[in-house]
Each structure stands twice: as structure tokens, then as C-alpha cells.
Structure 1
Amino acid sequence: MENIREIVQTMTRRIGLLNKNCCSIDGIDISVAQSHILYEISRHRQPSIQQIAELLGLDVTTFSRQVQTLVEAELVRKTPYPDDRRIQILSLTEQGESINRYIDEVMGSYYQDIFSHMTTFEQETVIRSIILLNEAMAKTKQCCNPMGS
């Protein structure tokens, strides 16, 4: 069997997941984590801070700091939930939506370029394989945390 760790680490580097920032738009630096937050807020109807934090696998404290940075940059809006004001609902501002669309376009173009170097069969095989890998990862109880913290 091939060295899976090496394959995944190489892919991670090439996608840019180790980069501090994913992009800079209109003078605003967006981290990889923040781009994930914008994406997930855009995909869900009136998500709470807790829901998106859980979805991304982040503790609420760390997530709240990231969200606050996005609120201060006027990309995300926090609104108290009417039935329980302790719950904060997240939404994208107009600028947040614009930046999220831009990131979508850039990533779409990037993946389109990657897949242009493959046959249709290879593209379908890769996509099916990634789906299978994601499903298997969701079933495991183990998490990659070498430091044990």
C-alpha cells in the first residue's frame, strides 16, 4: 500500500490548506478557516454559532473569535434568535456574500483546471473516491491528533 500520509499531506499543500490566508479581497485578508465559515453560513438557513462550529469541528470559543473577526470586517452578521436570545444566528452581509461568491469562483476555476488534466472516467473515479473517503472518515471515532490534546 502506498504511503497514505504522504499522499494526503502533498494534496493538502497543493490545495493550500497550510497557507495562513486563502485570499485577499478588497484589502481584507481571509484565512482558510474563515473561508470555510463563510461557505458554511451561506449553505445553511439561519445557522447558529453552535451549529456551524460543530459542523466545522471547532470548539465554540475558537469559532466565536473567528466569527467576531468576520463581524468586525462586516462580512458576517450576528443576530439574537427571537425565541431564545442567548442563541446567535449567523448570516452573511452583502460584502460577505460577494466575497464568498468570489472564493467559490476561484476554487471552481482551480478545480476545473485540475480536472481538465484527466479523462471523464478519471474525474468520476476521483470524485467517487473522495466521497467514499469522506464517508469512511465520518464513521471513524479516531481523530488525527498526534499531540493527544
Structure 2
Amino acid sequence: MENLRDLFQVLTRRFGMLNKNCCLVGGMEISLVQSHIIHEIDKQNNPSVQQVADSLGIDVTTFSRQIQTLTKMGLVKKQQLPEDKRVYVLSLTTEGKFVSTSIDKEMNQYLQEIFSHMNEFEKDTVIRSVKLLNEAMSKSSVCCKPYI
């Protein structure tokens, strides 16, 4: 039987998940974690710090340091809600939106290139399989709860 851990280890390496930085956009190096944070803020509408941290499965302390770095880089704005001073919402600056769009475009090109080596049936099978795997992982009691 095939070693499943080996299979996922190779997939992780090939997808670049072990790389310190995922992208270079406009002369800025963006880490993989920062890329995920930027994507999640862009995907949600003015999410709270807690919402994004929960979506990504990152503890709030670690997450807050990342937000502080992204704010200093000029990519993210953190604002206190006037109606509830305990809650902070996040949004992307114009430059943050540019970085998000650039990374999204780069990742989509990367995935298109990978899928170009498959026929439509194979591509659909992989996409369906990844969706099934994500769904099963979200129901697992032993898996971290990544965003869906």
C-alpha cells in the first residue's frame, strides 16, 4: 500500500507550502501566512480580527503580530468599531488590494499550468476529490479546522 503521508508530504513541497515566502509583489516579500491573511480579509467584508484568525485556525496572539506587520507594510488597516470598542475590523489598503489581486492571479496561473497536463475528466476528478477531502477534514475531530 502507498504511504499516504509521503504522498501528502510531496504535495506540500510541490505546492510550495514549505517556502518561507510565497510571493514577491511590488518588491515586497509576502510570507505564506501573510498571503492567507490577505486573501481572507479580501474575501470577507470588513471581518473582525477574531473572524479571520478563526477562519485560518491561527491563535489571536500570533495573528495579531502578523496584522501588525501587514499594517506596517501598508497592506492592511485595523480599525476599532465605534459601537463596540472591543472589536477591531480589518480591511485592505489600495496596495493591499493590489497585492491580493497579484497573488490571486499568480496562483490561478500556476494552477492552470498544472491542470494543463490533465484532460478535463482528470481535472474535474482532482477538484471533486479535493472538495471531498476538505469536507472530510472539516468533520474530523483530530484535524485542525482550516477555513473552507
TM-score, normalised via structure 2 length = 0.95
Match of 1:80 in 2: 80
Residue 26 of structure 1 and its aligned partner are, at CA, apart by: 2.0
Question: Cα offset for 1:86?
Answer: 1.5
Q: In structure 2, what residue type is equivalent to 1:72? A: K
Secondary structure at the aligned position of 1:107 is classed as: helix
> Cα offset for 1:16?
0.4
Alignment partner, residue 125 of structure 2: 125
Aligned pairs for 1:8-47 (under 5 A) are: 8-47=8-47
Deviation at 1:99, TM superposition (A): 0.5
Give the whole-Å Cα distance in 2 for the aligned partners of 1:54 and 1:14: 27
Which segments of 5 or more consecutive residues in structure 1 lack a partner in the other structure? 145-149
**Matched residues in 2 for 1:55 and 1:70: separation?**
18
Tell me the amino acid that sits aligned with residue 90 of structure 1. L
Deviates more, 1:73-82 or 1:24-33: 24-33
Three-state SS of the structure 2 residue aligned to 1:5 is: helix
1:59 CA drift (Å): 0.3
Q: Which runs of 5+ in 2 are unaligned?
A: none
CA RMSD of aligned residues (A): 0.9
> Equivalents in 2 of 1:10, 1:68: separation in Å?
33
* 1:147 counterpart residue number: none
Partner Cα separation in structure 2 for residue 23 and residue 134 of structure 1? 24
| TM-score under structure 1 length normalisation | 0.94
Amino acid at match of 2:5: R
Written as runs of structure 1 = structure 2, the 5 A alignment for 1:89-128 is 89-128=89-128
Deviation of 1:44 after TM superposition, in Å, equals 0.4
Q: Which amino acid in structure 2 is aligned with residue 94 of structure 1?
A: T
Question: How many residue pairs were aligned?
Answer: 144
Aligned AA (1:27): G
Aligned counterparts of 1:73 and 1:67: Cα–Cα separation in 2: 10
Higher RCO (Cα < 8 Å, 6 or more apart): 2
Matched ranges for 1:43-82 at <5 A: 43-82=43-82
**Local SS of the residue matching 1:24:** strand
